[in-house]
Amino acid sequence: MTRWGVTVLDRLHLDGHERVLDAGCGSGRVTEHLCQRLPRGRVIALDLSSAMLVEARRRLASYANRVSFVRTSLAHPLPLAPVDAVFSTATFHWIRDHEALFSNLAAVLHPGGQLVAQCGGAGNIARVHAAARAAGVDLDPTHFATPAEMQQRLEAAGFIDVQCWLQPEPTTLAPGEPFETYLRTVCLRPHLEQLPEQDRQPFLREVMRQLGEPVIDYVRLNLHARRGAVR
């Protein structure tokens, strides 16, 4: 996922002095590459999770003079001075209210400023959802948007020159225990956390049995846009 993030970062046009928001920085793995692209600039590393920010702060210690950390939700108006660009990877699909999300991002982005992002898109981990369904659980796939849906949401928030496209990234994991750990800690974590302790392992095992091949059918949705003139 860090590799995907770095590829997305390559699409951000930077001279090196800009002020850039990393929206959903997580543990800062991709943010570190962003810091390297901004030797005279500034990074705002924002995340909802304090635990993630603790890790990001540790990872980015050598860039401390040009990184600030903000703990808040992207679903709320952002307490930030304007930025030249917004960058985000693997985060937007976690936020249900995209109308609020994009309006909050537009509000802190200078007119003409870039939004370059990637998140899960339509069809993402459909095999895992099908396996969970066969194991008796309906996971909600509706938050993985299509390019057309995302384009409409971005334009409604005042973005222009919008480009959205899907990128299939099927990923094969090591079978057995590593695959089980990955499913438990990444793909199925939100659902498992809601199950009674004694039901978790049987559900996980059944999903693995249904899946067979240790392949996660990731589909990424790329977003590229600019903030239009303030209306």
Ligand X SMILES: C[S@@+](CC[C@H](N)C(=O)[O-])C[C@H]1O[C@@H](n2cnc3c(N)ncnc32)[C@H](O)[C@@H]1O
Interface residues with ligand X (CB under 6 A) are 1-2, 5, 24-26, 29-30, 47-49, 52, 73-75, 89-91, 94-95
Which of 61/229 has CB closer to ligand X? 61
Q: Which is nearer to ligand X, 91 or 151 (CB)?
A: 91
Report whether 5 contacts 88 (CB < 8 A).
no
Amino acid at 12: L
**CB of 130 within 8 A of CB of 211?**
no
Which tokens in the block code for residue 39? Answer: 């030797």
Nearer to ligand X, 54 or 134 (CB): 54
Distances (CA, A) of 47 to 94, 100, 116, 153: 12, 16, 17, 22
Indicate the residue whose CB is closest to ligand X: 26
Question: Least distance in Å: CB of 181 to ligand X?
Answer: 16
**Least Cβ distance, residue 209 to ligand X (angstroms):** 26
Q: How far apart are CA 91 and CA 74, in angstroms?
A: 10
Give the CA-trace dihedral at 140, 51, 175, 183, to 10 degrees.
-20
CB of 153 to ligand X, least distance (A): 16
Q: In angstroms, what is the minimal distance from the CB of 195 to ligand X?
A: 21
> Is the Cβ of residue 2 or residue 167 nearer to ligand X in the bound state?
2
